[in-house]
Structure 1
Amino acid sequence: MTMRLVLTRHAKSDWDNPLETDHQRGLNARGKRAAPLIGRWLTEKGYVPQEALVSDATRTRETWSLLSANWPQIPVRFDPALYHACPDVMLRVLRSAKAQTILMIGHNPGIATLAALLLRKPYTHSSFSRYPTCATLVVEFDAEDWSAVGYDKGVALDFIVPRELE
């Protein structure tokens, strides 16, 4: 069986309100433009997930809302464990997923590190190592379920950053 992971960093966040905590920061105008672009790209490429695992931070929730606005309703879990999670925690959360195609929305540096660790071969794209805001990797695994997925087992299908879609 093939398991597919769509790994997205949250869209560009707003730093204008000094009274907000990091967890409370929402998206800025650029982020609000970028997330729907990624959502449309995922639809056009046939990568719409069946389940979503999203950090519970405001900016990841907003990214999810804008990215998925034109999709059929799918189960979503806003998980506090994904807030600034390290790759091992992100992998543990992923292993609890039920659907065959999963979207995970998280934060750097964890999401960039996880993306690199999951792949059998390094991915060549000028922005991959930075994993800028709203960067999205689509990776497949030959596995029966998510418990069998681990580092160095994935094959990259696609990678995009919003700038390429504007």
Structure 2
Amino acid sequence: MSVAEPRRIVLFRHAKADWPQVSDHERPLAERGRKDAPVAGRKLADSGIAFDLALCSTAARTRETWKLAVAELPERPKTVYEERIYEASPGELIAVLNETPDDARDVVLIGHNPGVHGLAEVLTGEAEDEAARRMRRGGFPTSAFAVLTFTGPWKSLEPGTATLTDYWSPND
């Protein structure tokens, strides 16, 4: 693939988690999360994006979200479980994405707030279209995802270089 072709990044927040007496990293999905994750997976499938790579936080709730969502996709992409996504800032998430091999065109990152929402805002700058308005109005609730595009090698991804092309939330 040429680095001049547009790339897509889907920023996907984990589904609703439960609050049992375990460490934050080990929190499982709540019943609502187990229902919402496959719905989000079907919406991702409906987008027609054929993911080359999934980058998923190592937290239990993100791993469980991805397991339920990816089952709805026509093809399972290569999945890398990345510790640095857990509790990551937008800058740390950009650093992870900058390491993506250039043969990957479409990538989904399954992570946490506030990092995922912050990353969507940092990468897209002052977007004012309908998707941006919906994302700002609804925040970035559990199971929501944003689709961003940019052109260039992954190492060139930085603040303001992407365009928000779609946003979906189970609350819409």
Q: TM-score, normalised on structure 1?
A: 0.91
Task: State the Cα RMSD in Å.
Answer: 1.4
Aligned-residue offset at 1:111:
1.0
1:114 equivalent in alignment to 2:122? no
Q: For residues 137 and 119 of structure 1, what CA distance do their matches in structure 2 show? A: 11
1:8-23 aligned at under 5 Å gives the runs 8-15=12-19, 17-18=20-21, 20-23=22-25
Aligned-residue offset at 1:142:
1.8
Q: Secondary structure at the match of 2:11?
A: strand
| 1:24 paired residue number | 26
Aligned-residue offset at 1:124:
0.8
Amino acid at match of 2:84: A
Q: For residues 139 and 49 of structure 2, what CA distance do their matches in structure 1 show? A: 22
Q: Which of 32, 35, 38 is matched with 2:37 structurally?
A: 35
| 1:157 paired residue number | 165
Q: Secondary structure at the match of 1:132?
A: coil
| 2:47 paired residue number | 45
Moved over 6 A (4+): none
Q: TM-score, normalised on structure 2?
A: 0.88
| 1:7 paired residue number | 11
Amino acid at match of 1:157: T
1:85-116 superposed Cα distances (whole Å, 9 cap, x missing partner): 00111011111122100000111111111110
Unaligned runs of at least 5 residues, structure 2 = none
Q: For residues 76 and 65 of structure 2, what CA distance do their matches in structure 1 show? A: 15
Aligned-residue offset at 1:128:
5.3
Aligned-residue offset at 1:129:
6.2
| 2:90 paired residue number | 87
Q: Answer with 52-61 or 62-71: which moved more.
A: 62-71
Identical-pair percentage: 35
Aligned pairs, number: 161
Amino acid at match of 2:55: L
Q: Secondary structure at the match of 1:93?
A: helix
Q: Is the 8 A contact 1:136 1:160 kept in 2?
A: yes
Q: For residues 117 and 71 of structure 2, what CA distance do their matches in structure 1 show? A: 25
Q: Which of 99, 103, 114 is matched with 2:108 structurally?
A: 103
1:21-65 superposed Cα distances (whole Å, 9 cap, x missing partner): 000001011111111111111111212421000100000000110
Q: For residues 121 and 49 of structure 1, what CA distance do their matches in structure 2 show? A: 27
Q: Secondary structure at the match of 2:133?
A: coil
Q: Is the 8 A contact 1:112 1:131 kept in 2?
A: yes
Q: Is the 8 A contact 1:6 1:47 kept in 2?
A: no
Q: For residues 160 and 151 of structure 1, what CA distance do their matches in structure 2 show? A: 22
Aligned-residue offset at 1:141:
0.3
